[in-house]
């Protein structure tokens, strides 16, 4: 077993080393690709006017929606649910709140006001 087992063990170690190196290269390649091709996102927090205007998501023609919010309001985050509902978290200009936008019908279906 000394000769045959040592060769098999050496081959296994070399094979695992090659897999580790290849996996590391793939990971670095994915990171470089994602950094060089960013996804479109929400505008920076300071760029939102008093009445925030949201453009339609790229996957459907849902038109646009104007949120009549007080001055100083900014979009803190957005989450899309089941391709039909967009939850928009707003802060500033009063208490924090969440607006629920029905995408296919282009209307606000709910508002949640968060008290401090």
Rounded to 5°, the CA angle 42-101-80 comes to 55
Arithmetic mean of pLDDT, 78-91? 86
The secondary element (H helix, E strand) that includes residue 3 is helix 2-36
Arithmetic mean of pLDDT, 53-71? 63
At which residue do the structure tokens 């927090």 appear?
A: 45
> Considering the entire predicted model, what is its pTM?
0.44
Instruction: Provide the residue ranges of all domains of the chain, joining segments of one domain with +.
Output: 1-38, 45-113
State the pLDDT confidence band at 93, using cuts at 50, 70 and 90: confident
């Amino acid at each position: 077993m000394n000769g045959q087992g040592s060769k098999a063990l050496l081959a296994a170690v070399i094979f695992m080393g090659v897999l580790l190196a290849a996996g590391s290269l793939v990971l670095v390649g994915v990171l470089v690709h994602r950094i060089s091709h960013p996804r479109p996102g929400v505008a920076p927090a300071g760029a939102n006017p008093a009445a925030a205007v949201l453009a339609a998501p790229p996957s459907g023609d849902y038109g646009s929606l104007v949120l009549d919010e007080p001055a100083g309001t900014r979009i803190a985050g957005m989450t899309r649910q089941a391709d039909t509902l967009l939850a928009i978290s707003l802060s500033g200009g009063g208490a924090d709140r969440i607006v629920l936008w029905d995408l296919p019908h282009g209307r606000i279906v709910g508002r949640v006001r968060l008290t401090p």
